[in-house]
Amino acid sequence: MDTPITQSVDLQSQGLNLGLSKYSEALIKTFILGTPKPPPANIPKLIVSQTVSFAAFLYEKMRNAIEYREEHLIRRAAIERILKRRLVLNANGKGIADNLIKELLWARYMENNSVPEEMIPTVQGIIDKYFYLRNEITGGRPEKEKTGLTLFIMELLSAEIEERLAPNPRREAFTNYVYQVLRPKVAFWEKPEEEKDIQVYIAVERSFAKSDPPLIRYHLFRLLLPDFINMTWQDVDRILPKFYDIYKAIEKEFYHPLGEQLRRFVKKNLAPFLILRDLFEANPNNISEILHDDAKLKFKTDEICRKKYQETGAKLRRAGVRSFIYIVLTKIIFAVAIEVPVDIYLTGRIAYLPVAVNLFFPALVMAAIVSLVGVPGQDNTKRIYEHLKTILVEDPDDPVASHDKLVLGRTARQTSAFLTVGFSLVYALAFVFSFGTIFYILSSLGFNLASQTVFIFFLTLVTFFGYRIRQISTEYQVMDKEGALSPLGDFFLLPILGVGKWLSGEISRLNLFIFIFDFIIEAPFKALFEVLEEWFHFVRVKKEEMV
């Protein structure tokens, strides 16, 4: 018979059994069932030339390097880009599924000899459905509205094609799990529950799943009109009366006044969910055993956290080095192309001090920002473990578990117009003071207007990029403490960050290299690839005839 002491030792060695919530149990089940399964070996599959594939792969790498996207978003964007290009010569999209899939195989967005040939009519059916919808819904509308609807439909089309070619139920299951856990922790002041649910879902998609707007639109569309996925083009007439209303409703949700607050709330609560996802991915065969055993869960959480902290440090260093090199190179170009010629034109000589400051100061600022960033430690791991255990065990639907809610919308109602105007004036004062001080110092050092403009341009961009890099270190951080002087620092820093964010957005929209790649290089390159692919196929057939 076991004594209380031996029972205690046995519990410590095996770990206390954790009773998981119904959502946690469902996540485990979905994850196990969602293991990718290759198509049967006896089904004919599409094969493309490795020579063409290598060239197309290099091209896509160069193309994607100039427009940063998360890794899991690149393929959908490529599908949309291919469709738009092919529509130039084939406005109704008839028979383009074959070439679309081949282009994806060339660029190695999917493995060669992995897509069944029967997928061609399936994808073509999806294309026909959306093109019929586009033709019916855009007819007779103003040009601006027609353009918006067409873009929306193309985004839905590319997302559904990717989902059919490469389904990822595990990713979807995790997103829904985070949504179900966080949804009861938020309340909207005097607003419908459905409105809150949609906004929480969008915030989870943005922060946890890191989905871009086209993918979020597709997921919302699928939630609001689930039957559409199984429709053919002959069935589309049934949803035409309500499609436009759904389109407008989805677009409206992206500009909800509380959306940004919700995104920040979700982001602050992400660390345990990210570690949980890493736990699943690192232990797919025994994840249920780990999550039900307290001791194993604690050990594995510590193991994953240490690994992620190490990766975060390496990521910070890489980002810092790349940004430093980028800033130095672009500064040299600006100095040679703008500052030096302007100095010679205005004064007949080169102002070496402004050129030197403009050349080295932004890079030094970036180096300082990155060097001051640290990674989380053991205390953070303990907090993650406690949060993670609560998430796994606690039932989100229990009213007691969600008694401490984040209530949004109430503050906005209570804030008087006087205070709103007052806060705006204070922010304007911070803007004037921050940039006024910078211009005053630069003028004292002999900077002309061109040199001052270049300095401000790079200072704001560098500060914004540095801020973004610092966010890498907070990804796995719980309860990030704010220093006593942080509000004062933010008062002067926010205007600089705001200008840097605006400049970054404008530069990304005016990316000349994207225009060159998409409209000048890609079409002839891909046409050449098609000719080569057909030639290699012709040679293979002739060789087989010789046997």
Our count of domains for the chain comes to 2
**How high does pLDDT run on average in the chain?**
79
Q: Is the pLDDT of residue 215 over 90?
A: yes
Per-residue confidence (pLDDT) for residue 434, from 0 to 100: 80
pLDDT at 418 over 80: no
Q: What is the DSSP letter of 480?
A: P
Q: Are residues 231 and 285 in the same domain?
A: no
Assess whether 454 and 436 both reside in one domain.
Answer: yes
Check if the beta carbon of residue 297 is closer than 8 Å to that of residue 382: no
Beta strands 186-188 and 406-408 are parallel
Q: Give the residue-averaged pLDDT of 375-388.
A: 90
Domain presence at residue 542: no
Same domain, 493 and 532: no
Model pLDDT for residues 330-360, shown as the tens digit of each residue: 666 666 666 677 767 766 777 777 777 777 7
Residue 299 lies in a domain: yes
Establish if 14 belongs to a structural domain.
no
What are the tens digits of pLDDT across the range 83-109? 988 887 787 888 899 989 988 988 888
Q: Are residues 79 and 207 in the same domain?
A: yes
Residue 326 lies in a domain: yes
Residue 523: the pLDDT is: 55
Examine residue 16 and state whether it is found in any structural domain, yes or no: no
Among 259, 204, 263, 250, which residue's Cα sits nearest to residue 412?
259
Pair (286, 158) in one structural domain = no
What's the rounded Cα separation, in Å, for the pair 229 and 227? 6
Q: Are residues 384 and 491 in the same domain?
A: yes
Tokens at 81, concatenated: 């880009």
Name beta bridge partners: 406: 186
411's CB contacts (< 8 A; 6+ apart) are none
Query: Distance of CA 399 to CAs 159, 395, 396, 442, 471, Å?
Result: 37, 9, 8, 59, 33
Q: In this structure, are 372 and 254 located in the same domain?
A: no
Q: Is the same domain home to 307 and 433? A: yes
Range of the domain at 447: 277-509
pLDDT in tens, 442-452: 888 888 777 78
Of the ranges 49-53, 142-146, 413-417, the best mean pLDDT one = 142-146
Question: Which tokens is 313 given?
Answer: 């440090």
| Spatial distance between the Cα atoms of 137 and 470, rounded to a whole number of angstroms | 45
- Contact indicator for 341, 438 with CB cutoff of 8 Å: no
User: What integer pLDDT is reported at residue 41 of this predicted model?
Assistant: 75
Question: Which of these, 532, 33, 108, 501, lies nearest to 287 by C-alpha position?
Answer: 33
Structural domain contains residue 293 = yes
Give the pLDDT score at 8.
Answer: 35
Does 545 fall in a domain? no
Same domain, 89 and 139: yes
Residue 205 lies in a domain: yes
59 and 141 together in one domain: yes
Domain shared by 251 and 294, yes or no:
no
- The answer to pTM > 0.95 is no
The arithmetic mean of pLDDT across residues 284-298, rounded, is 92
**Residue 325 shares a structural domain with residue 265:** no
Q: What is the 3-state secondary structure (H, E, C) of 244-273?
A: HHHHHHHHHHCCCCCHHHHHHHHHHCCHHH
SS3 187: strand
Count of H helices and E strands in the chain?
24, 2
- d(Cα 264, Cα 203) in Å, to the nearest integer? 8
Residue the block writes with tokens 């890493």: 278
